[in-house]
Amino acid sequence: MIIRRKYLFYALAFTSAIIAAGTSAIDATISALYIPNAWAFAFSCFIVGTIISLMIVLVFSIPISRKESLGSKLIDPSFKRVRLVRKEELKLHVIAGAGNAILTLGFLSLLSILGDPSTVLPFSQIAILYLVIIESVTEKNMPTISEIQSSIIVTFGAILVSISLTGSISLEALAIVFLVINPAWVVFSIYQRKLKLLKIDNRPNDSLNIRLWNVIFACIFTIALLITSDFFMGTNHLIEGITASIEHFDWVALTMGVTFFSYVFYIRALGIGKASVTQAVRSSAVMFAIPFSILISYFNIIPPFSTDPVMILIKAIGTILVVLGIISFALAMMKAYVFINVKPGYPIEETMKNLWNIRGVTRVTATAGKYDFIIKIRIRTLVKGYEKIIRRLEEIEAIKKFKWESVLKEWEEI
Amino acid sequence: MLAAALVGADNFIMETNIAAEKFRWKTMISAYILISMRPGKSDRIIEEMRKIENAEKISVVAGEYDIVVRVHVKTLEKLLEVTDKLQLIDGVKKTTTQVIEKEISL
């Protein structure tokens, strides 16, 4: 089945956001009623999460035909069966696992301080700003004015939505948000994307195995952090975590099972779009979290929703800003193919490398036929295409001539 | 003894299957097919192209060509089959096939 790539991307990112909003409400319930210690909760999340994720991946490994397994049919076409980590993935998994462990600890600490998931979730959306900055440094993509504008709109929107239902802002919470959650989220997000873009056995890496191994590595890091804390601070988090995992296995298994699917869809979306854009779309979890918050406040799990008109107005403005930011992120992205002929006497490898070094070039292909190279470009504006790409192509001596073909619409096999 | 032999045979068959599968993935051929078409039939042509099994990506472009199709096939014969199917679509004027030799991508 071929659907437009853009629709697939948004479907994955929005599904992930709705599930994330739902799980944050379950997390808030567990934190308020059963496991108030954030460290113990983080430990049980990963230890129970490892068991649950392994069970899910094993079920999805069941073959349904010679070529397909249940997972490749229902979740990710790149998936075949559960497998061990490959050597080329190891470093990326270690970093992404550390990111997830710190992120989860930060998130659960924040949840235990603030309680309301619709207040906690928006804070993690500030990561968009960090992502745009990091993409501009590490990837071949400079942020445009519209990207910066959108990031700022989403960030301020998230801050407004995050003012708690009782109208207060905690400084401790802000420190956790800016110094722990968001930097860890950026590391986690970037390395998950790098893993998704890897090719394993000549086929794209699959999101199910990526998620499973991420939970395992995050579990190892969390245990290490808990042991360090218990040793130096004299706390008893590890024992509390083990006890909580046994006593509340059902609740933690529920949240980790649902979270598994949220992340699988998120990782798949990351493989399609830029990390910052995926994050922007996923930030719609902010809106989806509000009905879940109302639901759990109705059951008296968190303090009741404020009926103060000013508070409601602030929340509404924040939500509108987040939505506007997301829309402006999603629009104005253009792609193009450039067909290139080269002069004789220049090594192909070197020309390939020169083409690859141009910012905005996402794919360089050496071909046999009428053209020697076909490159794919992804940019925000045509002006940028001229300034950043055409000028640079003209500087490459080996190039004899080239043709620019802007992509108007695109479909991709899923 | 017999059980051990059966397990050994089973392992051998499994390993052979894995090796064959790896070889199949390594020997896949990718190509871009650049298409020029007669004006006025683009929607129907794209609809027809989306039915072709090996078409990985279909891009409508503005420039010398009208459509760029990226295909992924097992053999050159299969590539010919796909090109043939594309040329048989009413409205397709000309196809140019570019077989991919090497690729770097994000």
Whether residues A405 and B104 touch (CB distance < 8 A) is answered with no
pLDDT surpassing 60 at residue B7: no
Residue A409 host element (H or E): strand A399-413
CA closest to B95 among chain A residues: A370
- What pLDDT does A59 receive? 93
- What pLDDT does A140 receive? 58
Minimum-distance CB partner of A371 among B55, B63, B98:
B98
Q: Does A139 touch chain B (CB under 8 A)?
A: yes
Minimum-distance CB partner of A368 among B22, B56, B101:
B101
Highest mean pLDDT among A336-345, A371-380, B32-41: A336-345
Q: Which residue, chain included where needed, has tokens 């998704």? A: A196
| Distance of residue A359 Cα from the nearest chain B Cα, in angstroms | 12
Highest mean pLDDT among A304-318, B3-17, B65-79: B65-79
Q: Does A39 touch chain B (CB under 8 A)?
A: no
Q: What value does the mean pLDDT take over residues B94-106?
A: 88
ipTM: 0.77
- What pLDDT does A367 receive? 94
- What pLDDT does A305 receive? 67
- The rounded mean pLDDT for chain A is 82
| Distance of residue A367 Cα from the nearest chain B Cα, in angstroms | 4
Q: Does B43 touch chain A (CB under 8 A)?
A: no
Q: For residue A276, what pLDDT band results from cuts at 50, 70 and 90?
A: low
**pLDDT, tens only, A215-258:** 999 999 999 999 998 888 888 888 999 999 999 999 999 998 98
**Least confident residue range of A22-36, A74-88, A144-158:** A144-158
Collect all residues with Cβ–Cβ distance below 8 Å to A326 and sequence separation of at least 6: A150, A154, A280, A281, A283, A284
DSSP labels, A68-137: -BHHHHHT-TT--S--PPPHHHHHHHHHHHHHHHHHHHHHHHHHHHH--HHHHHHHHTTHHHHHHHHHHH
Q: Does B6 touch chain A (CB under 8 A)?
A: no
**Whole-structure pTM value:** 0.66
Domains, chain B: 28-99 (3.30.70.920)
- What pLDDT does B9 receive? 42
Whether residues A365 and B65 touch (CB distance < 8 A) is answered with no
| Nearest alpha-carbon partner for B58 in B80, B81, B28, B37 | B37
Whether residues A366 and B101 touch (CB distance < 8 A) is answered with yes
Q: Does A406 touch chain B (CB under 8 A)?
A: yes
Whole-angstrom distance, CA of residue A31 vs CA of residue A115? 8
pLDDT surpassing 70 at residue A124: no
**pLDDT, tens only, A297-318:** 888 777 776 667 787 788 778 8
Residues of chain B contacting residue A374, judged by C-beta atoms under 8 Å apart: 32, 98
Domains, chain A: 2-141+165-303 (no CATH), 335-413 (3.30.70.920)
Residues of chain B contacting residue A403, judged by C-beta atoms under 8 Å apart: 63-64
- What pLDDT does A338 receive? 95
pLDDT surpassing 60 at residue B11: no
